[in-house]
Amino acid sequence: MNQRKIASVEELKQLLQQAKNVAVVDYTGMTVAQATDLRKAVKASGGLMKVTKNTLFKVALGPLSNQLTNNQLTGQSAFIFSLQDEVSALKHIKLPFKLGLAGDRLLTAAEVTQLAATPAKEISIAKLMFLLQYHTSKLVRTLDAITKKQITPPLSPS
């Protein structure tokens, strides 16, 4: 391998270590303007889009590349590295997923699609807070009603 390819593999290895997950997409047929817009959207959401040779990505994967099937990493591939959280960078992808990587595990295209459909972290936290607040206030109202019922003196027969 020449120096440029070695440097590219080293950069990919560093990105693989830093990333929460990686998605591989087929970007066949994208125009330069579409690719630029996608890069900007992914970067704005805390990710990085990198286009490199599939072979260099396989080398950077190391032993994990042995789990790849022959047709998983073919054609034109773009690699989406999620650097801030697991799903934000994937929200902008309208291209078909080829596969993904989460930690030491390869993900199928279906699993990456499902991950991309997961609500953002902030939305999930907001939903959780709403549910906690709703159930807590419901409990307080119920306990308050019980207390008022027990404190109210019984009516004496007249």
Whether this prediction's pTM lies above 0.75 is answered by: no
Contact 115, 87 (CB under 8 A): yes
What are the CA-CA distances from residue 20 to residues 1, 73, 95, 108 (Å)? 28, 20, 20, 16
79 by Cβ neighbours in 10 Å (0-12 / 13-18 / 19+) ranks as buried
Q: Domain locations in the chain? A: 3-117, 119-152
Whole-angstrom distance, CA of residue 4 vs CA of residue 72: 25
pLDDT tens digits for 2-42?
899 999 999 999 999 999 899 999 988 889 999 999 999 99
CATH 3.30.540.10 fits 3-117, yes or no: no
